[in-house]
Each structure stands twice: as structure tokens, then as C-alpha cells.
């Protein structure tokens, strides 16, 4: 009785194990898992049939249960065979053989059930044990052995494919298949053992349950883990960084190939006292930190060459999920190349910066040197224009004036560019009247446009406030650059300038300026380059048009410096439109009304702005012709001009006479302008006379520099008549000046 109860309990246990395994297998998404599940399902049915065998109370019932049991074992083995083939990647062989095996299993199943009719597989007989409990046992007939052979053949085939795969795989994967093979061999062995013991009831199916659970454990836990460990080890040996792991007792448990090679690490003897770890300990761990990074330098000899190696060593404590320290790791990164490249890049950058500085200095010097003679040319030319009546000569002089103006604007462009490059461009905001600005621009460009038979139209929002605050000079420069380009690159039609204001608050507005022309236009490809420095687009067509390719670069930089934006759109053959938007401060909101052009009554003809016949000034310059220029420019103001050709002479004159104002050139042979200034301002009769420095140094910051030295003001060459007169009005004693 007890024996029976034990059989039934063991079988129940087997069913429970199988159900658990079936449930767990749901997580495995591979096709082979499905086959293992089918095998386990068959196993469950077989166990239930087995329970019925144990519980049967007559021969017929036992016979039915035995048939069910034997036939399900057929299918169990078929599905196990399928699992083994899929797991060992023999999918194609499964496809080819499954038809035959299914056929054989079907025949065997039918044959088993025909046992009722022919009794060719087994017969049932009753046996009573010592405690009086009866068992229905099977006596085996030849066909049963055929059934058994078929089952073992299928099993053998599965084993053959596993062994084949083990032989073919490389070591890492052998373990994966060996475990499955071991599980199946255990089943076969236990089965044989059971037969040898010839127990009363068949419990071999229990082994299938155990094997199923073992296989599941292998394919989901053990095999992937061991594979992962081996793969991780290999991967860590392949990477070009070092890794050293320590356990909680600070014993080295792992060092990858890189760490071992670079620092001669032997895991057995390596500890916290060895380099490079000991340096990290001193700098980070002893300070109580749980992670950190230090640079580390090592002098090494590699391939017989001494070399300094740079490393970055990262340290961190390792903790588990509950934040308990379980060890620590050190990550070693070779930064030798990085440091070498950084040094090279730094050197290259320094070289480039130096070259750039040299270039800017060269440009500034060049423009200085060109300005000095240009001062004489333009100044004396101005004299010709003022005194000469002969229209032919006046014509020549006008040409000189225009060419001089172009040359000057070119020099100014170069200077602006070098200022921008050196980040030295500064804005000088002033209050200005927008209409006056537009009017000046119109006056200036009208003549240029007329020479090419082009129109120039300017419109302005009638709500435009009467006084704005911004860098008028730079705004003028932006507009002039764009408009002069528009005229340059237009053959017929003209240029339209439209100015709108978009009030942003009661204090600020956005000045929206649209300048469009009907010129040659710019191709789409060229549009993306027109703001590049020294870049002239459409060179073929524009070869005969003067330009440096700097104008728009400066324009864009200026607009951005003024916190604005510039956009350009163009259609080749139709024209180009530039849109500039700039924030400006409103000083007086009174609307200016419609923009009307106001022609200057006097035209360009010169008219002195003041007269000061009693004023006496001193001009000092080592270039004679410059002295002449100043004298000539001031002729109509009746100011008395004394001239000195050097510092020494000027100092002497200042000792003898009191002047109302002194103009002093900077660059002179010793004593230069500054030395002369220092002398004059401490001794003689002119210690409190305003002294204005004359210089071709128009670099940004020059005015501040001169004021710091003590000069009252600064006038850049070439000297312009209006600037010179304005300076005198400012510095001459007011009682001596009569404004015109």
C-alpha cells in the first residue's frame, strides 16, 4: 500500500515540477523553448497516465493507462529530439527528419492501441505483494521492444547531434551543449537503472521532469552566466583601458590584460601598496572620498625606447543594491596621445594667434603709412579745389578727391577688419536724427547713382521717432556698404531703401531696413559665401568692378555687434535684397512724418565755419607738406598758424610764446610727439594750452591712449577740414571765435 502511495506522490511531485518548468519557459522566446514545452506537456500526460496505472483496479483500466503512457512517451521523445536539434542549431535537419519521425511515432502509437486487439505489445497480469496490495503489471511482447528501440533511436539521434555540435564548437560554447548532453545522459542512465532494478511500477517519467528542470536551468541561467563571464573577460582584455578590481578586503581579484601589461600586475601579489593604485589611495581614498580621478605619469621603456606615459586613473568603490561596499575598482586610461595632441594643438593655436596678431599689426601699420602721404595729397588737393577756377584743373582735382576717398575707405575697411579680427571694435552710441542720416546717405549716393543712370529711392516710416540713440557712424557705414554694393552691381534700374520702425517698447524699437536693387543678383551657391572675408563671388562677371570682398564681412560683423541681424535674398538677373534689423533706443518719440529729401543749399562748395583772426596756434609736424596743409585748410578762418618741423623747435617756440591751441604730430624723430608734449606741458608758457595729437594711428583705443597721456584731443590723418575746424571751435578761447 505504501509503495503505491509513494509512487503516486512522486508522480505528483513530477507533475508539479513540470508545471513550474512550463511556466518558467514562457520567458524564453526562442523556438527551441516551444519544443521543450511540448515535450514537458507530453511528460505531464505520461505522469498522469502513470498515476492511473498505479490506481487502476482492473486489467482493462491498467491496459488503457499503459497504452496512454507508452504512446505519450513516443511524442515526448519526438519533441525532446526537436528541442535538441533546434538548441544545437540543426534547424534544417529537424525540418528534413521530422516528417519521418512523426510518421514512425504515429505508426507506433496506433500499434500500441491495437494491443487491445492483438496483444502484440504487452499483456497485463496481476501481482500481489507481501502486504496484500495488488498491482497490474505488464508482460512484454516483441512489438514493445520495437517501440523501445524506436524511442531509444530517436534519443540517440538527438545525442549524436549534440555531440557533433560539441566537437565542432570552439571551447567557449562547448559548455553550453555539454550541459544539455549531460542532462539527457542522466535521463538515459536513470532509465536503464530503473529497468535493471525491475521495479514494480514505472517511474522513469520522473526523470524526464527532473531533466526538464535541469535543461531549463541550464539554458536560462547557468549557460548564459558562464558565457557572460567568459565573454566579459575576453572583452575586457581587448579594450585599450585598464581595469583592476579589488574585493572588500582589498585583495586584487581581477586585472585585465592592459592593466597587467602596462603595470606588471600579478593578481596574486598585487595590493594597495603597489603603483599606480597606491598613488590614488594617497590622493583620494585617504581623504575619505568614495570616488575620484587623478592624472598619473609613468616613465616607461617600451620596445627599448624610454618614454613618458600619461594616464588618467579613475577610482570608485563598488556597492551592492543596498549600498553596501563590496569592493573597489580602478580604471586606467592612457592619455599620452591626448596630451601630445593637446600640446600640438595649443602650439598650433599659439602660432596662428601670433601670425594673426602679426597680420593685424601689419595691416594697421600699412594703413598708417598710407594715411600719412594721403593726408598731404588730399589736403593739398582741397587747396586746389578752393582756389582754382579753371574747370579742367578743377575736374582733375575732383578726380583726385574721389580716388582719394576710395583709397581712404579701403584703408578704413582694412583697419575695421583688423579691429574686428582682434575683437577690438567698439561701438560709440550717440543721439541722432534718422531723417538726417537718410538724407546724408541719399545726397552722397545720388551722384554715384546718377553717373550710372540709376535711380535711388528712399522711404521711411512716418512714425519714425525724431531722435534715436545708437552708433550712428557704424549704422551709416552699414548702409553705405550695402548701398554702394547695390549701385556697383546694378547696370539698370536702381536702388530702393525702405526704413520701417517696429516699436518694441516705449524705449526701444527695431529699425527694419530693406535695401533692394535691380542688379545682377547673386546665385544661390554664392549667397552662402558673400559674408566670408576677402571673398568676392561671381568673380568672372565682377572682375572689372572694384572691391576687396571685405565690405559685407565688416557689415555683418557691425550689425551683429549692434545686436542686429542681416539677411540677404537674391535672384540672379533680377536683383538682390538685404534686410537689416537693429534695436535702437528711442530718445524723442515725436514722429518725424514723411521722409523728404532736403538738399543742401550750398552744395559741396566749401564754406568756413568760423573766423578767429586774433587766435594763434602752433602746428608741429616733421613733414613740411603736412604743415602747409593745415595752414592752407585754415586760411579762410584767418587763424594765425605758426609752424615747427620738430619737437625741439616746438619746445623752444613754446618757451617764448603763448598759443591758443597746439597741434602736435605723434611720429617724429626724437623728440617724438609724446616727449615733446611732456616737455611743453611742464615748462614754458604753454603748460595749460590745449594740445591735440595729430596721428595716422586710427586704431581702436588710440584716442583713450592719447587722453591717458594727457592730450586734450586726437585728430586722425588725413585731416579733414570740417574736423579740424570743429576741433578749433571746441578748444579756442570762445571770445576769439566768431561762428559763421
Gap between the Cα atoms of 690 and 733, Å rounded: 10
> In the bound complex, what is the minimum distance in angstroms from residue 489's beta carbon to ligand ADP?
3
- Taking the least distance from each CB to ligand ADP, the nearer of 513 and 522 is 522
> In the bound complex, what is the minimum distance in angstroms from residue 492's beta carbon to ligand ADP?
13
Query: Any idea what DSSP says for residue 218?
Result: I
Stretch binding ligand ADP (CB under 6 A), from 184-192, 395-403, 532-540, 674-682:
532-540
- Taking the least distance from each CB to ligand ADP, the nearer of 375 and 496 is 496
> In the bound complex, what is the minimum distance in angstroms from residue 558's beta carbon to ligand ADP?
12
Stretch binding ligand ADP (CB under 6 A), from 543-551, 594-602, 617-625, 731-739:
543-551
Task: Take residue 150 and report the three cell numbers written for it.
Answer: 524506436
User: First-to-last CA distance in the chain?
Assistant: 141
Task: By CB under 6 A, name the one of 372, 538, 585, 609 that touches ligand ADP.
Answer: 538
Task: By CB under 6 A, name the one of 49, 244, 438, 552 that touches ligand ADP.
Answer: 552
Binding to ligand ADP by residue 479, rule CB under 6 A? no
Burial class (CB in 10 A: 0-12, 13-18, 19+), 351: exposed
> Which residues inside 572-591 make contact with ligand ADP, applying CB under 6 A?
576
Cell 505520461 -> residue: 46
Binding-site size, ligand ADP (CB under 6 A): 21
Any residues with CB less than 8 A from the CB of 556 and at least 6 apart, and which? 531, 566
Does residue 217 contact residue 260 with C-beta atoms inside 8 Å? no
Helix and strand numbers, DSSP H then E, in the chain = 23, 21
- Which runs of consecutive H residues, i.e. helices, occur in 285-390? 336-387
In sign, the C-alpha dihedral spanning 202, 204, 206, 212 is negative
Binding to ligand ADP by residue 489, rule CB under 6 A? yes
Binding to ligand ADP by residue 639, rule CB under 6 A? no
Task: By CB under 6 A, name the one of 480, 542, 579, 645 that touches ligand ADP.
Answer: 542
Task: By CB under 6 A, name the one of 517, 631, 665, 725 that touches ligand ADP.
Answer: 517
Task: Take residue 16 and report the three cell numbers written for it.
Answer: 508539479
Query: Any idea what DSSP says for residue 593?
Result: -
> Which residues inside 388-447 make contact with ligand ADP, applying CB under 6 A?
none
Q: How many CB atoms lie within 10 A of CB 375?
A: 25
- Taking the least distance from each CB to ligand ADP, the nearer of 260 and 488 is 488
Beta strands in 167-287 (DSSP E): 241-247, 252-255
Stretch binding ligand ADP (CB under 6 A), from 41-49, 197-205, 326-334, 541-549:
541-549
Task: Take residue 289 and report the three cell numbers written for it.
Answer: 572620498
Rg (CA), the chain: 51
CB-closest chain residue to ligand ADP: 547
Task: By CB under 6 A, name the one of 101, 486, 513, 612 that touches ligand ADP.
Answer: 486
Q: How many CB atoms lie within 10 A of CB 231?
A: 12
> In the bound complex, what is the minimum distance in angstroms from residue 564's beta carbon to ligand ADP?
17
Binding to ligand ADP by residue 557, rule CB under 6 A? no
Q: How far is CA 647 from the centre of its chain?
A: 58
- Taking the least distance from each CB to ligand ADP, the nearer of 498 and 616 is 498
- Taking the least distance from each CB to ligand ADP, the nearer of 570 and 697 is 570
Gap between the Cα atoms of 637 and 600, Å rounded: 22
- Taking the least distance from each CB to ligand ADP, the nearer of 20 and 531 is 531
Residue 313, classed as helix, strand or coil, is strand
> Which residues inside 293-322 make contact with ligand ADP, applying CB under 6 A?
none
Burial class (CB in 10 A: 0-12, 13-18, 19+), 205: buried
Gap between the Cα atoms of 189 and 210, Å rounded: 13
Gap between the Cα atoms of 360 and 7, Å rounded: 101
Pairing relationship of beta strands 430-432 and 508-517 according to DSSP bridges: unpaired
Stretch binding ligand ADP (CB under 6 A), from 122-130, 350-358, 368-376, 536-544:
536-544
Stretch binding ligand ADP (CB under 6 A), from 134-142, 200-208, 233-241, 531-539:
531-539
- Taking the least distance from each CB to ligand ADP, the nearer of 485 and 721 is 485
Binding to ligand ADP by residue 569, rule CB under 6 A? no
* Interface characters, 69-88, with ligand ADP (x: CB under 6 A): --------------------
Task: By CB under 6 A, name the one of 165, 442, 536, 643 that touches ligand ADP.
Answer: 536
- Taking the least distance from each CB to ligand ADP, the nearer of 576 and 716 is 576
Binding to ligand ADP by residue 466, rule CB under 6 A? no
- Taking the least distance from each CB to ligand ADP, the nearer of 479 and 530 is 530
SS (H, E, C) 497-559: EEEEEEECCCCEEEEEEEEEECCCCCCHHHHCCCCCCCCCCCHHHHCCCCCCCCHHHHHHHHH
- Concatenating the DSSP letter of every residue in 56-108 gives --SHHHHHHHHHHHHHHHHHHHHHHHHHHHHHTT-HHHHHHHHHHHHHHHHHH
Task: By CB under 6 A, name the one of 537, 685, 702, 709 that touches ligand ADP.
Answer: 537
Q: Nearest Cα to 206, choosing from 73, 354, 369, 372? A: 73
Query: Any idea what DSSP says for residue 668?
Result: -
> In the bound complex, what is the minimum distance in angstroms from residue 421's beta carbon to ligand ADP?
15
- Taking the least distance from each CB to ligand ADP, the nearer of 72 and 553 is 553
- Taking the least distance from each CB to ligand ADP, the nearer of 153 and 410 is 410
Binding to ligand ADP by residue 169, rule CB under 6 A? no
Does residue 682 contact residue 649 with C-beta atoms inside 8 Å? no
- Taking the least distance from each CB to ligand ADP, the nearer of 259 and 483 is 483
Measure the CA angle with vertex 24, ends 20 and 28; round to 5°: 155
- Taking the least distance from each CB to ligand ADP, the nearer of 313 and 568 is 568
Task: By CB under 6 A, name the one of 162, 456, 520, 634 that touches ligand ADP.
Answer: 520
Query: Any idea what DSSP says for residue 221?
Result: I
* Interface characters, 196-235, with ligand ADP (x: CB under 6 A): ----------------------------------------
- Taking the least distance from each CB to ligand ADP, the nearer of 179 and 482 is 482
> In the bound complex, what is the minimum distance in angstroms from residue 548's beta carbon to ligand ADP?
5
Does residue 193 contact residue 220 with C-beta atoms inside 8 Å? no
- Taking the least distance from each CB to ligand ADP, the nearer of 381 and 553 is 553
528 phi, psi to nearest 5 deg? -75, -10
- Taking the least distance from each CB to ligand ADP, the nearer of 494 and 690 is 494
Binding to ligand ADP by residue 485, rule CB under 6 A? yes
Does residue 364 contact residue 390 with C-beta atoms inside 8 Å? no
Binding to ligand ADP by residue 519, rule CB under 6 A? yes
Stretch binding ligand ADP (CB under 6 A), from 375-383, 443-451, 452-460, 533-541:
533-541
Query: Any idea what DSSP says for residue 667?
Result: S
Pairing relationship of beta strands 465-470 and 430-432 according to DSSP bridges: antiparallel
> In the bound complex, what is the minimum distance in angstroms from residue 608's beta carbon to ligand ADP?
36
Query: Any idea what DSSP says for residue 637?
Result: G
- Taking the least distance from each CB to ligand ADP, the nearer of 518 and 626 is 518
Q: At what angle do helices 142-168 and 171-197 cross, to 10 degrees?
A: 160
Stretch binding ligand ADP (CB under 6 A), from 113-121, 379-387, 469-477, 514-522:
514-522
- Taking the least distance from each CB to ligand ADP, the nearer of 416 and 621 is 416
Binding to ligand ADP by residue 550, rule CB under 6 A? yes
> In the bound complex, what is the minimum distance in angstroms from residue 529's beta carbon to ligand ADP?
8
Peptide bond into 70 cis (omega under 30): no
Name the residues that contact ligand ADP, by CB under 6 A. Answer: 485-486, 489, 517, 519-522, 530, 536-538, 542, 547-553, 576
Amino acid at each position: 500500500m505504501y509503495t503505491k502511495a509513494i509512487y503516486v506522490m512522486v508522480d505528483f511531485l513530477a507533475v508539479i515540477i513540470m508545471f513550474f518548468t512550463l511556466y518558467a519557459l514562457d520567458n524564453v522566446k526562442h523556438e527551441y523553448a516551444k519544443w521543450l514545452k511540448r515535450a514537458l506537456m507530453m511528460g505531464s500526460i505520461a505522469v498522469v497516465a502513470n498515476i492511473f496505472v498505479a490506481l487502476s483496479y482492473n486489467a482493462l483500466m491498467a491496459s488503457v493507462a499503459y497504452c496512454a503512457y507508452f504512446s505519450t512517451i513516443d511524442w515526448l521523445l519526438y519533441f525532446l529530439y526537436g528541442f535538441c536539434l533546434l538548441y544545437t542549431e540543426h534547424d534544417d535537419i529537424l525540418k528534413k527528419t521530422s516528417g519521418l519521425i512523426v510518421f514512425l511515432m504515429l505508426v507506433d502509437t496506433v500499434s500500441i492501441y491495437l494491443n487491445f486487439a492483438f496483444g502484440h505489445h504487452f499483456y497485463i497480469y496481476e501481482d500481489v505483494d507481501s502486504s496484500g496490495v495488488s498491482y497490474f503489471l505488464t508482460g512484454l511482447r516483441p512489438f514493445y521492444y520495437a517501440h523501445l528501440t524506436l524511442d531509444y533511436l530517436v534519443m540517440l539521434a538527438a545525442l549524436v547531434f549534440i555531440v557533433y555540435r560539441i566537437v565542432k564548437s570552439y571551447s567557449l560554447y562547448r559548455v553550453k551543449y555539454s550541459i544539455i548532453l549531460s542532462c539527457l545522459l542522466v535521463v538515459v542512465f536513470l532509465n536503464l537503472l530503473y529497468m535493471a532494478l525491475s521495479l514494480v511500477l514505472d517511474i522513469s517519467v520522473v526523470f524526464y521532469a527532473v531533466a526538464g528542470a535541469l535543461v531549463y536551468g541550464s539554458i536560462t541561467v547557468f549557460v548564459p552566466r558562464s558565457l557572460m563571464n567568459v565573454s566579459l573577460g575576453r572583452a575586457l582584455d581587448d579594450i585599450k583601458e585598464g581595469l583592476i578590481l579589488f574585493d572588500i578586503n582589498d585583495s586584487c581579484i581581477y586585472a585585465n590584460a592592459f592593466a597587467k601589461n602596462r603595470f606588471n600586475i600579478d593578481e596574486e601579489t598585487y595590493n594597495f601598496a603597489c603603483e599606480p593604485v597606491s598613488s590614488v589611495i594617497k590622493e583620494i581614498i585617504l581623504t575619505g572620498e568614495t570616488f575620484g580621478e587623478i592624472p598619473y605619469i609613468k616613465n616607461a621603456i617600451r620596445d627599448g625606447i624610454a618614454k613618458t606615459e600619461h594616464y588618467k586613473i579613475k577610482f570608485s568603490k563598488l556597492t551592492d543594491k543596498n549600498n553596501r561596499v563590496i569592493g573597489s575598482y580602478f580604471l586606467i586610461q592612457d592619455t599620452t596621445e591626448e596630451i601630445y595632441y593637446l600640446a600640438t594643438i595649443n602650439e598650433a593655436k599659439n602660432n596662428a594667434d601670433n601670425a594673426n596678431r602679426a597680420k593685424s599689426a601689419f595691416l594697421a601699420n600699412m594703413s598708417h603709412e598710407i594715411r600719412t602721404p594721403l593726408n598731404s595729397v588730399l589736403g593739398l588737393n582741397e587747396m586746389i579745389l578752393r582756389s582754382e577756377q579753371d574747370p579742367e584743373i578743377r575736374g582733375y582735382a575732383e578726380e583726385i578727391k574721389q580716388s582719394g576717398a576710395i583709397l581712404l575707405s579701403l584703408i578704413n575697411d582694412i583697419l575695421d577688419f583688423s579691429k574686428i579680427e582682434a575683437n577690438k571694435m567698439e561701438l560709440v552710441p550717440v543721439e541722432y536724427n534718422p531723417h538726417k542720416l537718410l538724407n546724408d546717405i541719399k545726397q552722397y549716393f545720388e551722384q554715384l547713382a546718377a553717373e550710372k543712370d540709376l535711380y535711388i529711392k528712399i522711404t521711411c516710416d512716418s512714425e519714425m521717432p525724431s531722435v534715436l540713440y545708437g552708433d550712428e557712424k557704424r549704422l551709416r557705414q552699414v548702409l553705405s556698404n550695402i548701398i554702394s554694393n547695390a549701385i556697383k552691381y546694378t547696370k539698370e534700374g536702381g536702388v530702393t531703401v525702405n526704413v520701417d520702425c517696429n516699436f518694441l517698447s516705449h524705449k526701444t524699437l527695431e529699425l527694419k531696413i530693406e535695401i533692394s536693387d535691380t542688379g545682377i543678383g547673386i546665385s544661390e551657391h554664392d549667397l552662402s559665401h558673400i559674408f566670408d572675408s576677402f571673398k568676392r563671388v561671381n568673380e568672372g562677371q565682377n572682375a572689372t568692378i572694384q572691391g576687396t570682398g571685405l565690405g559685407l564681412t565688416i557689415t555683418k560683423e557691425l550689425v551683429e555687434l549692434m545686436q542686429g541681424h542681416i539677411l540677404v535674398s537674391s535672384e540672379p538677373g533680377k536683383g538682390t535684397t538685404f534686410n537689416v534689423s537693429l534695436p535702437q533706443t528711442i530718445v524723442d518719440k515725436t514722429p518725424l512724418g514723411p521722409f523728404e529729401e532736403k538738399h543742401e543749399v550750398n552744395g559741396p562748395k566749401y564754406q568756413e565755419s568760423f573766423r578767429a583772426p586774433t587766435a594763434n596756434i602752433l602746428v608741429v609736424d616733421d613733414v613740411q607738406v603736412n604743415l602747409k596743409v593745415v595752414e592752407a585748410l585754415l586760411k579762410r578762418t584767418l587763424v594765425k598758424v605758426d609752424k615747427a618741423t620738430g619737437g625741439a623747435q616746438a619746445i623752444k617756440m613754446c618757451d617764448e610764446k603763448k598759443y591758443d591751441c597746439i597741434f602736435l604730430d605723434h611720429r617724429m624723430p626724437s623728440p617724438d610727439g609724446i616727449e615733446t608734449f611732456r616737455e611743453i606741458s611742464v615748462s614754458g608758457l604753454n603748460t595749460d594750452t590745449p594740445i591735440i595729437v595729430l596721428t595716422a594711428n586710427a586704431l581702436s583705443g588710440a584716442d583713450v591712449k592719447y587722453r591717458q597721456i594727457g592730450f586734450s584731443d586726437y585728430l586722425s590723418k588725413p585731416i579733414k577740414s570740417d574736423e579740424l575746424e570743429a576741433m578749433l571751435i571746441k578748444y579756442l578761447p570762445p571770445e576769439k571765435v566768431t561762428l559763421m
